[in-house]
Amino acid sequence: MALYSTFNHGYSISSRNLYFMYKIVRSLKSDLKIKWIRPEPVSCLKPEKSGDLKPREQIDPKSPLLELKTSDELQKSNELVKRIFSLEFNPRRYGVKFSLENSIDSVKRHKLDRSSPESQIAGLTATIRQLQEHVEIHRMDVRNKVILKELIDKRRRKLRLFRGLDYKRYEWLLEKLDIEYKPKPEIDERVERKKSLRKLTDLYCEEVRDKKLTEYKGILQSQQEEFLLSKAEKLKWIMKVENELQAEPSVTEEDINAVYEKLNMLKLNLDNQSEV
């Protein structure tokens, strides 16, 4: 049994016709030159989202292990022994620890500093950069992805607190570690096609309006000299007729002189613009 939709004006359209009308309306496209491309989502684990401006520090693989860095025995040993106890011939965790200590040493306040905000943020930064490299290679490592996100949030919170505590030292720390503080947005808006198209349409309409106003302003400015000359002549004619009829004057010589002054100023401005 066919279903019918009855409108207020008395016409009735079957559901089948309504369906085809809907398809026609949906197929219509606007003539406006507006193209919206859905932006690619950026993971919160990426450096551009976390605020890391450079990757993990590249260390020399021939560097000795951190525990043997100041060892006199190692310094006196031959090259083969030095290579065995270097970062090149040891697990990756030793290189990670080496980078962590270098990062902390660059900002710590004293030799045994481990609890200052600078040292904590530097340690978190080194760990974050190491995990970012790891996650980029091992994309299915969900456990380390969760750890990385927690560390990024923790560093963001520490940066926010340190910013209010000592702003000059905070700026120095950002420059030293090559990081950027990116707070979470107060309103997290979803990326929606219709909403974005409305905004783009508003921007397009503003551009069209500004362009037309600029063109119209140029037309009026080009006619300004002719308008002032015509105005001066008409004021002279009005003053002449009022004198002949002995009527109360509505136009004076000062009014006419003011128009000529505007005309002279306009010509002067046009000459200056042409010279420039």
Tens digit of each residue's pLDDT, the chain (276 residues): 444 444 444 455 566 666 555 555 555 566 667 888 888 888 888 998 999 998 888 888 888 888 888 888 888 888 888 888 888 888 888 888 999 999 999 999 999 999 999 999 999 999 999 999 999 999 999 999 999 999 999 999 999 999 999 999 999 999 999 999 999 888 888 889 889 989 999 999 999 999 999 999 999 988 998 999 998 999 999 988 988 888 888 888 898 899 889 888 988 887 787 776
Query: How many structural domains are present in the chain?
Result: 3
Residue 217, in any domain of the structure: yes
Q: Are residues 4 and 120 in the same domain?
A: no
Q: Are residues 136 and 216 in the same domain?
A: no
First-last CA distance in the chain: 80
Q: What pLDDT was estimated at residue 82? A: 84
Distances (CA, A) of 233 to 134, 201, 257, 262, 271: 84, 47, 11, 14, 24
Q: What pLDDT was estimated at residue 8? A: 46
Expressed as residue numbers, the domain containing 1 is: 1-30
Residue 110, in any domain of the structure: yes
Whole-model pTM? Answer: 0.66
Q: Are residues 64 and 120 in the same domain?
A: yes
Residue 86, in any domain of the structure: yes
Residue 214, in any domain of the structure: yes
Q: Are residues 212 and 153 in the same domain?
A: no
Q: Are residues 250 and 159 in the same domain?
A: no
Q: Are residues 19 and 51 in the same domain?
A: no
Q: Are residues 206 and 239 in the same domain?
A: yes
| Listed residues 177, 207, 239: the one ending a domain | 177
Q: Are residues 15 and 103 in the same domain?
A: no
Residue 199, in any domain of the structure: yes
Residue 261, in any domain of the structure: yes
Residue 9, in any domain of the structure: yes
Q: Are residues 98 and 172 in the same domain?
A: yes
Q: Are residues 91 and 167 in the same domain?
A: yes
Q: Are residues 170 and 94 in the same domain?
A: yes
Residue 125, in any domain of the structure: yes
CATH number at residue 108: 1.10.287.10
| Listed residues 177, 204, 220: the one ending a domain | 177
CB burial readout 50-88, b (16+ within 10 A) else e: bbbeeebeeeeeebbbbeeeeeeebeeeeeeebeebbbe
| Listed residues 108, 142, 177: the one ending a domain | 177
Dump the DSSP string for the chain: ---EEE-TTS-EEEHHHHHHHHHHHHH----S-----PPPPPPTTSHHHHTB-S-PPPPPTTSBPGGGTT-HHHHHS-HHHHHHTBGGGS-HHHHHHHHHHHHHHTT-SSTT--SSHHHHHHHHHHHHHHHHHHHHH-TT-HHHHHHHHHHHHHHHHHHHHHHHH-HHHHHHHHHHHTB---PPPSS-----HHHHHHHHHHHHHHHHHHHHHHHHHHHHHHTHHHHHHHHHHHHHHHHHHHHHTTPPP---HHHHHHHHHHHHHHHHHHHHHHH-
Q: Are residues 68 and 136 in the same domain?
A: yes
